[in-house]
Structure formats: structure tokens, C-alpha cells
């Protein structure tokens, strides 16, 4: 059974950047509740390597930075099945902790069960 998603709606793309910025802000506050993060102005100088997000939707390509976070099996499934999430990133509590992967699938229509299954595979 293939979980290949249908073609992306052009309307979804307009949400990518605002949602990415909201996730950056939320993850910045997750790391340090005392600071106010402004994604548009850049993250705090001491945390940029601890929070990372990129837009995958429409491009269907993972950067080398993200490839380092996923194992080979996950990357092979993504490539073979064509299952590319819209936003992918990670947050890391400190430089010595593991990177926690965050995946966001943006929809401008009703979510279906298979959309949730797509995220579970990753």
C-alpha cells in the first residue's frame, strides 16, 4: 500500500512561512521561557543551532542539515514513497541532548486519516 500524498494545494504554500515562524517562536520559548524570540529578526545568538526548521513542501528536498538528523531508513522511505512533509525541523534542549524532530503537515482542507499516518511513518 502506497501512502503517496496527492498533489499539494497551492493555497497551502502561503501558510508555510507564517507557521514556520510560529514554530520557531514556540520552540524558542520551549528552550527558554524567560526570553522573547522574534523569528523574523533571527533567534537569540546563543541558540540558533538548537532550533532549526525548513520548508520542504513544494521542493521535496531535505537539506544536508536535516539529513543528519534522520536515519537512512527514514530517508529511503521518504524518497521511495514520495512522502515529503511541509515543514521539518528540530529542537535541542542543549548541545548535549538529542535533537527532537518536529514535522508539520499544513492543510487548507479537512485532514484525513492517511495524513496522520504519513506523519507516523517518519
Residue 11 clears pLDDT 90, i.e. is over it: no
Query: What DSSP string describes 101-117?
Result: EEEE---SS---HHHHH
Decide if 117 is inside a domain.
Answer: yes
Q: How confident is the model at residue 76 (pLDDT cuts 50, 70, 90)?
A: confident
Decide if 37 is inside a domain.
Answer: yes
Indicate yes or no: pTM above 0.75. no
Structural element, H or E, at residue 87: strand 87-91
pLDDT confidence of residue 41 = 45
Decide if 1 is inside a domain.
Answer: no
Structural element, H or E, at residue 24: helix 10-31
- Distances 87 to 34, 65, 97, 105 between C-alpha atoms, Å: 26, 14, 22, 7
Decide if 89 is inside a domain.
Answer: yes
> What confidence tens digit (pLDDT) does each residue in 104-113 have?
988 887 766 6
> What confidence tens digit (pLDDT) does each residue in 43-56 have?
444 555 688 899 99
Decide if 5 is inside a domain.
Answer: no
Structural element, H or E, at residue 14: helix 10-31
Contact 104, 23 (CB under 8 A): yes
Average pLDDT, the chain: 77
Decide if 2 is inside a domain.
Answer: no
Domain span at 52: 10-121
Name the domain count of the chain.
1
Amino acid at each position: 500500500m502506497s501512502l503517496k500524498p496527492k498533489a499539494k494545494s497551492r493555497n497551502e504554500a502561503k501558510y508555510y512561512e507564517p507557521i514556520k515562524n510560529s514554530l520557531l517562536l514556540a520552540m524558542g520559548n520551549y528552550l527558554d521561557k524567560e526570553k522573547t524570540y522574534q523569528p523574523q529578526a533571527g533567534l537569540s545568538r546563543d541558540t540558533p543551532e538548537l532550533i532549526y526548521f525548513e520548508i520542504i513542501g513544494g521542493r521535496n528536498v531535505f537539506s544536508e542539515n536535516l539529513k543528519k538528523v534522520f536515519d537512512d531508513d527514514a530517508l529511503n522511505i521518504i524518497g521511495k514513497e514520495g512522502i515529503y512533509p511541509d515543514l521539518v525541523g528540530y529542537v535541542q534542549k542543549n548541545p548535549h541532548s538529542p535533537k527532537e524532530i518536529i514535522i508539520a503537515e499544513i492543510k487548507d482542507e479537512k485532514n484525513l486519516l492517511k495524513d496522520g499516518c504519513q506523519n507516523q511513518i517518519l
